[in-house]
Structure 1
């Protein structure tokens, strides 16, 4: 199950990230501004985000597996449309939005499945296994996109090629994923409680801050390396994707450590180090220095950090709102992926304004650093539960002592 879901993440992430090295190419080919090119990724994520909460609710009610498969097929139609109709900007926007709408169900369905099937002591590691798919898809999408473009001299071919594994994985989901269903009926009081849960909101916003910096690096990183550091297009995509090399083992390590040492301790270490490494990217010169910074950034960025936070969400949701894990994860991903709408647009605007992507990278690092503050007020639920268990045990022993019973 875990590796099937990781493979699904790899494909959907490669679908998504193969667009980023082509943003400048599309802008030049269609005669649009950098902000308009950035709007292609924002259109994707606008509909991706809009699908999060409905997908989580539908998955809890109808089953996470059928919701995942149906929407994944829709994502396949979107990526195929980007390839066949990509010579028109407005059709590009349309099919980017369609792909985002379909892909939007994957996160709540995949992580909702894992969090409902895996015990709390293994959630961090299990979430990290799925997170390895993000890292793998990141490097595949970024590396193949520029190479296929330079081979074919068409920015449409990478999308057409990526539609093949997107459709091919559907029967694998059907065969390998378990049937998971949460609450049988809508419970608006529970949804309102989830939406008003301050601990969950701190997790959501802190992860939003972490992902904002990540999307600055991923969406405009290839353009930064090509335009301001002298890389070729295929080198720019490959180097940007290098962060995935270290993200793969880091995700598994941080996830495992968070299961043992606690979510808060690991998360509050990883996030500020991610902010610092992104800031260093704005100064890095030369291929060796840039490679080193990106490899370090991979140790602390999205694929390494997010599994800790989604496991933390699962810890809280499974205790406070059993049967509504899909909805809680859907709300989580809805909030955090707004960063993917904001980061490309704001970064493109800063580039248009300043003529450089350095200000955008610096702003991304500042936003990441600000997210660290929010981690301090989140309860370490599984540690709290151990303390509660000790308290219950103490009360039981205390209340059964003979001298206590003598006063009853």
Structure 2
């Protein structure tokens, strides 16, 4: 189950991360402005965010499998819609459907692994997170191929086939029952638990600032490297791929470290490294300096994913783990979903550098909040 769930997550991330390297081609094909491109990615991230609480809550009251199989089906539909989109409205719809499917998958998959790996939760979540980097690496490879011989639409049809195959594998290997019955979402009680103490509220704010930054950076980094740093499309995509190649090893290690040391401290250090790396990336004009910034940024931001999830799961009661994790992620991913729109609008009105400075400031603020909370 660890294998099939991680591969499913890898496939969803392939769809998520294949668009940024191809964004200029998509813009040219559909005649989109930077603002419109940012809105497409924000719609995806918003749909991904708002679906997380109900899917997590329902996976607690029904079963993990009851949510995971429909999630894979929705992802297949979203992939086909994106690949076949011929207008701005259709690409927005496709992005929204794919985001819903990814949101349905995200929390039940984490909760399933948390059920299976209690003593090594951080490491198991790190392995799941590494699946995202496998997907990011595949997305970058697909983008390089597409830029050479095909169109930006091409990767989404093989992706739909892969997701359908994984849905079949999950059904074959799954040992859980499928449960369909009425269930309460309990939104008020869950929000009360999440926001009960100042420390929890500050932590959610820090994570929201982190996701605001990362959604903005990942959505536009290849375009930034091409348009500001003068990289060729292939070099920009290969540099983008570095983030994911490194993440395959960083996430499991970071999850294991957070099992042995205070998770909040691990997250703070990672955020500071990431903020410093963005500064290096913006100030460097040589290929070597920019690549150093990308490597450091990967170390800093990839550390966060297993650590943040483990922090939230540690604080959640066993019977509401999926719901609490989903609600927390809905809150900070909802705020974070505005990152691509911020970059698109700011780059249209000013330039990419101003947008990336704003993202760097938000990451420094997130690190400062966690550091301050850790000293209390």
Q: Does TM, scored on the shorter chain, surpass 0.5?
A: yes
Q: Contact between 1:52 and 1:333, CA under 8 Å: does it hold in 2?
A: yes
Query: Does 1:161 pair with 2:140?
Result: no
What is the CA RMSD across the aligned residues, in angstroms?
A: 2.3
CA 1:34/1:185 → structure 2, altered by over 3 Å: closer, same or farther? closer
* 1:353 aligned partner: 349
CA 1:104/1:123 → structure 2, altered by over 3 Å: closer, same or farther? same
**How many pairs align?**
372
Distance in 1 (CA, whole Å) between partners of 2:177 and 2:367 is: 34
CA 1:210/1:53 → structure 2, altered by over 3 Å: closer, same or farther? same
CA 1:187/1:341 → structure 2, altered by over 3 Å: closer, same or farther? closer
Query: Does 1:254 pair with 2:251?
Result: no
Deviation at 1:340, TM superposition (A): 4.6
Deviation at 1:49, TM superposition (A): 1.3
Distance in 2 (CA, whole Å) between partners of 1:210 and 1:27 is: 27
Distance in 1 (CA, whole Å) between partners of 2:284 and 2:174 is: 44
Query: Does 1:77 pair with 2:74?
Result: no
Alignment of 1:234-245 (within 5 A): 234-245=234-245
Distance in 1 (CA, whole Å) between partners of 2:4 and 2:370 is: 31
* 2:10 aligned partner: 10
* 1:131 aligned partner: 129
Deviation at 1:188, TM superposition (A): 5.7
Deviation at 1:186, TM superposition (A): 5.3
* 2:106 aligned partner: 107
Q: Contact between 1:204 and 1:332, CA under 8 Å: does it hold in 2?
A: yes
Tell me the alpha carbon deviations over residues 198-253 of structure 1, each in whole angstroms, 9 at most, x when there is no partner: 34433332222222222222110110111122222232122112112222222122
Q: Contact between 1:203 and 1:313, CA under 8 Å: does it hold in 2?
A: no
Deviation at 1:185, TM superposition (A): 5.8
Distance in 2 (CA, whole Å) between partners of 1:253 and 1:272 is: 18
Q: Contact between 1:18 and 1:144, CA under 8 Å: does it hold in 2?
A: yes
* 1:375 aligned partner: 370
Distance in 2 (CA, whole Å) between partners of 1:159 and 1:91 is: 14
Bigger radius of gyration: 1
**Aligned counterpart for 2:330 among listed residues 325, 329, 334:** 334
Deviation at 1:265, TM superposition (A): 2.2
Deviation at 1:150, TM superposition (A): 2.9
Tell me the alpha carbon deviations over residues 361-408 of structure 1, each in whole angstroms, 9 at most, x when there is no partner: 11111111111233246689xxxxxxxxxxxxxxxxxxxxxxxxxxxx
Alignment of 1:262-273 (within 5 A): 262-273=262-273
Distance in 1 (CA, whole Å) between partners of 2:222 and 2:4 is: 29
Q: Which sections of structure 1, spanning at least 5 residues, go unmatched?
A: 381-408
Query: Does 1:274 pair with 2:278?
Result: no
CA 1:178/1:373 → structure 2, altered by over 3 Å: closer, same or farther? farther
* 2:170 aligned partner: 173
Distance in 2 (CA, whole Å) between partners of 1:158 and 1:17 is: 11
Q: Contact between 1:139 and 1:238, CA under 8 Å: does it hold in 2?
A: no
Distance in 1 (CA, whole Å) between partners of 2:189 and 2:214 is: 32
Q: TM-score, normalised by structure 1?
A: 0.85
Distance in 1 (CA, whole Å) between partners of 2:208 and 2:124 is: 21
Deviation at 1:181, TM superposition (A): 9.7
SS of 1:330's partner is helix
CA 1:178/1:270 → structure 2, altered by over 3 Å: closer, same or farther? farther
Deviation at 1:3, TM superposition (A): 2.8
Q: TM-score, normalised by structure 2?
A: 0.92
Q: Which sections of structure 2, spanning at least 5 residues, go unmatched?
A: none
* 1:206 aligned partner: 206
Tell me the alpha carbon deviations over residues 88-109 of structure 1, each in whole angstroms, 9 at most, x when there is no partner: 1111111111111111111111
Q: Contact between 1:17 and 1:141, CA under 8 Å: does it hold in 2?
A: yes
Tell me the alpha carbon deviations over residues 26-84 of structure 1, each in whole angstroms, 9 at most, x when there is no partner: 22222221100111111111211121111111111121112011012101111111112
Tell me the alpha carbon deviations over residues 298-336 of structure 1, each in whole angstroms, 9 at most, x when there is no partner: 1111x321111110111110xxx2300010111122123
